Structure 1
């Protein structure tokens, strides 16, 4: 019994570390706390991880209905649907409450990590990240096929990242093939917004860019890399698995029936 409790505590400590790193690496415009629920909202971008309630303690389950109403008012003010991001820190009791209330569950995702000492980066290109945020955003939006209206919000988020940021673009001439953001903080490096242009997928461009970013992070002292990916994204999971990434934990999103 004691061994199981120790293992669970170690697991939750690992989750807390990656959740905190994720908040710093991809910061919401505003964050409010209701107990240990982190209410993250961003007017300029609709991404769920930037617009969600993130419970951070499985034992913090008092006055759930009252607190959900308060969170709902904040989301309504931003024009966002009330959304909870349920990592292992949310706990089983809150999940059971949402089940009983008929909340939907969607977008199951994985957090994965790898030991950078084992990363196959020996042959990777020594790529210098871009310093020009505007140029990177233009390339990233083209690769992601994003709406132009999202540009100011993306610029705001990238500009607000406090840890060291590597903006990586793989180009052919002036045409962007793949883009990603690598956020280096101490001994870990997170990969975000990984994408390859639709017309050139399955040609190794994403893999090559990831390896360049991992090499850059390792040279800066990072000892492990991590990323988030939707559980249904089979091509991405196959790529990350082939590079040496392994699943650390799962999370998903919940919304009330009226959302």
Structure 2
């Protein structure tokens, strides 16, 4: 199981790259000045057995986060292990925002009727659409541009539009035999009309044509509508992760 988790974790780091990455043993410290997303600003432990000098290392990580003006945040997957979890419990750290990692073998995806769609080449146009569908603050535009521009594997920028109005957006990162879906969003007034489903199917069809064999994504456990959609498409849970912060953070 841990080998599977490591595979998705590594793919996630490549697909949604932080601006600065530091290693402390097998802890991956990711920081991004231009975007506040937790997965871009978190400590990611990758070995349950790496438990040496935990308090000292947390202190080092805290100083790095302070320098970026970010709250110290640990992203806890099954790779974090029980020893570290117990240490954080005893220190009174809060636990929040659980998410699921889900997968779908593309040979099982119903893509025959999916519309053929060419990803956008204009990053600026896509960013504008994504900010609208995600209802994000326009101040995040430079940071999001930086993240998307830094993606090393092939990234398909998908947008469903009605004239100049963005209805749904997503990023599909084709990385070997994996196709990761990121930033999947539908504009509030356009929800429950099948736009998200249609765009996901188009992106998966695009990825399968590029020889991807498995789709995967991350979704917050509390996002009932998204979970229902993904499960209806055939996605199944692989593992979960959550975030932790120290008292007062």
TM-score of the alignment, normalized to the shorter chain, above 0.5:
yes
**Distance in 1 (alpha carbons) for counterparts of 2:137 and 2:201:** 28
**Alignment match, 1:116:** 106
Aligned length, in residue pairs: 249
State the alpha-carbon separation in 2 of the partners of residues 194 and 106 from structure 1.
21
Is 1:157 aligned to residue 130 of structure 2?
no
Q: Does 1:70 align with 2:60?
A: yes
Structure 1 position 147, deviation (Å):
1.0
Offset of residue 258 of structure 1: 2.3
Determine the C-alpha separation between the residues in 2 that align with 1:186 and 1:40: 23
Q: Deviations over 1:124-146 (max 9, x none)?
A: 10000000100000110111111
2: CA distance between counterparts of 1:200 and 1:169?
13
Match of 1:220 in 2: 210
1:60 has 2:50 as partner: yes
- Classify the secondary structure of the residue corresponding to 1:122: coil
The one of 191, 216, 227 equivalent to 1:237 is 227
Residue 189 of structure 2 is aligned to residue 204 of structure 1: no
Q: Pick the aligned partner of 2:77 from 82, 87, 91.
A: 87
The structure in which a higher percent of residues are helix is 1
TM-score normalized with structure 1 length: 0.96
User: Post-superposition shift, 1:160?
Assistant: 0.3
Q: Deviations over 1:3-22 (max 9, x none)?
A: xxxxxxxx000000000000
Structure 1 runs, 4 residues or longer, greater than 4 Å off? none
Counterpart secondary structure, 1:150:
helix
- Aligned partner of residue 89 in structure 1, secondary structure: coil
- C-alpha separation in 2, matches of 1:146 and 1:243: 26
- Are residue 177 (structure 1) and residue 170 (structure 2) matched? no
CA distance in structure 1 between the partners assigned to 2:38 and 2:98 by the alignment: 12
Match of 1:8 in 2: none
Residue among 109, 112, 121 paired with 1:131: 121
TM-score scaled by length of structure 2:
0.99
Residues 92-125 of structure 1: per-residue CA shift (max 9 Å, x gap): 1100111111100000100000000010111010
Q: Distance in 2 between matches of 1:80 and 1:255?
A: 11
